[in-house]
């Protein structure tokens, strides 16, 4: 009988061992599936997103240089500085004339209570071609262009950070200038 007791004890131990092993695997704390090894996939680069653009309106001189006319452009980044830089770049339509000397730099634009403070480099004055009509077209091309933006109602001109009384002697710039839509050719 001792042999039979040994077999019973051994069987009972084996049964308990198998039972514990079975219960131990079924009560695992981590319920997440074990990740299978992945084949190394080469990720295709994402297609570049189309840049978003916004339409802006610029005002340039007519061929007769007596009125202003609209020209629309699409810009990726629309800031008041970027709009003025497009104005300085000149018209795309060969039938239109520039209103700003090509060497002018925009030094900054800030808006306070609807008034844009447009700061330009000295070339706005020193490179300007002069004449009363030329001065009017330059001033109002800037004012009307900036007034197309909802935050701008009037424009004060600065050169190198300093307020100016006039650009080239024909038009007073002592006060902020409102747009003149009657200068725009219909």
- pLDDT tens, per residue, the chain with 186 residues: 565 566 555 555 555 655 555 555 555 455 566 666 565 666 666 666 667 899 999 999 999 999 999 999 999 999 999 999 999 999 999 999 999 999 999 999 999 999 999 999 999 999 999 999 999 999 999 999 999 999 999 999 999 999 999 999 999 999 999 999 999 998
**Rounded distance between C-alpha atoms, residue 87 and residue 101, angstroms:** 10
The contacts of residue 174 (CB under 8 Å, 6+ apart) are 165
8 Å CB contact between 95 and 134: no
Angle at which helix 80-89 crosses helix 132-147, to 10 degrees, equals 140
Look up the pTM and report it.
Answer: 0.73
In the block, tokens 């006060």 appear at 175
């Amino acid at each position: 009988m001792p042999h039979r007791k040994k077999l019973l004890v051994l069987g009972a131990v084996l049964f308990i061992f198998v039972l514990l092993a079975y219960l131990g695997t079924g009560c695992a704390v981590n319920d997440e599936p074990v990740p299978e090894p992945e084949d190394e996939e080469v990720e295709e680069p994402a297609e570049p997103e189309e840049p978003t653009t916004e339409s802006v309106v610029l005002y340039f001189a007519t061929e007769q240089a007596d009125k202003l006319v609209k020209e629309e452009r699409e810009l990726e980044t629309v800031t008041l500085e970027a709009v003025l830089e497009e104005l300085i770049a000149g018209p795309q339509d060969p039938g239109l004339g520039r209103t700003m000397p090509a060497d002018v730099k925009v030094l900054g634009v800030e808006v306070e209570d609807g008034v844009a403070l447009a700061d330009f480099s000295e070339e706005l004055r020193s490179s300007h071609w002069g004449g009363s009509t030329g001065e009017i077209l330059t001033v109002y091309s800037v004012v009307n262009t900036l007034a197309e933006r909802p935050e701008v109602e009037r424009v004060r001109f600065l050169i190198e950070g300093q307020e100016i009384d006039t650009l080239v002697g024909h038009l007073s710039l002592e006060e902020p200038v409102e747009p003149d839509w009657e200068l725009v050719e219909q």
